[in-house]
Amino acid sequence: MSAVGVLFDLDGTLVDSAVDLLNALNQIVVAQGQPALPLSAIRPVVSKGARAMLRVAFPDRDEAARELLLQPFLDCYEAAVAHHSTPFDGIEETLRLIEAAGSRWGIVTNKMHYLAREVVASMGWASRNSVLIGGDTLPNKKPDPEGLLLAMRELNVDPSRCAYVGDAPEDIEMGRRGNVMTIGVRSMYPSSARVLSANPDLYLQQITELVAHF
């Protein structure tokens, strides 16, 4: 494939943000009179978003009660959005090679745009990333392809010349519905153990393998 546009998932694919999310969640947990959670408790659901993490933290509360904790959780996270978050091994090298090949890259994530923007900036990618679509940019999130289609329009790239890279089945479903090449990648997040079940067009054991397929 000769891609002129490569679009990525953010959490679990480009960046390991689990520790920062855990720290923010535990501020809420402790304030609610519960013991802090270990990282192992939330890592399986980090890529599913804030509400999924609140379900893990407060399984005995109903949805309405948990919803009241959503904005406080997001506020705690915003205050320390990337203190411990880092790119996964091989990400920087891969992005440089994509750029050296004359291709452009961007991000389509379910993370709220204002939070994703802060993470991207903290990684030093703000001027390099060609497009950033957040979970609140449009009415529908992944696996709906709406965000992916918007990203391709902003890149001015045809689906036949674009690939989407992610570590979760929802990423593959979105890419398929958007008629782009779908690339699953193994990550530290448990979602990557399920990505093969979604039958991506290509599966990578590590992200550095990506440029070999350009």
Active site residues: 9
Beta-carbon-side half-sphere exposure of residue 203 (alpha carbons within 13 Å) = 14
Please classify residue 65 by burial: count the beta carbons closer than 10 Å to its beta carbon, then call 0-12 exposed, 13-18 middle and 19+ buried. exposed
Q: Name residues whose C-beta falls within 8 Å of residue 169's C-beta, 6 or more positions apart in sequence.
A: 191, 194, 195, 197, 198
Stated as kind and residue range, the H or E segment containing 195 is none
Handedness of CA 58, 63, 65, 67 (dihedral sign): positive
**What DSSP character marks residue 80?**
T
Give the separation between CA 133 and CA 111, rounded to whole angstroms.
9
Give the phi and the psi of residue 58 in degrees, each rounded to 5: -130, 65
DSSP secondary structure letters along 10-49: SBTTTEE-HHHHHHHHHHHHHHTT-PPPPHHHHGGGGGG-
Integer angstrom CA distances of residue 21 from 53, 138, 185, 186:
9, 23, 22, 21
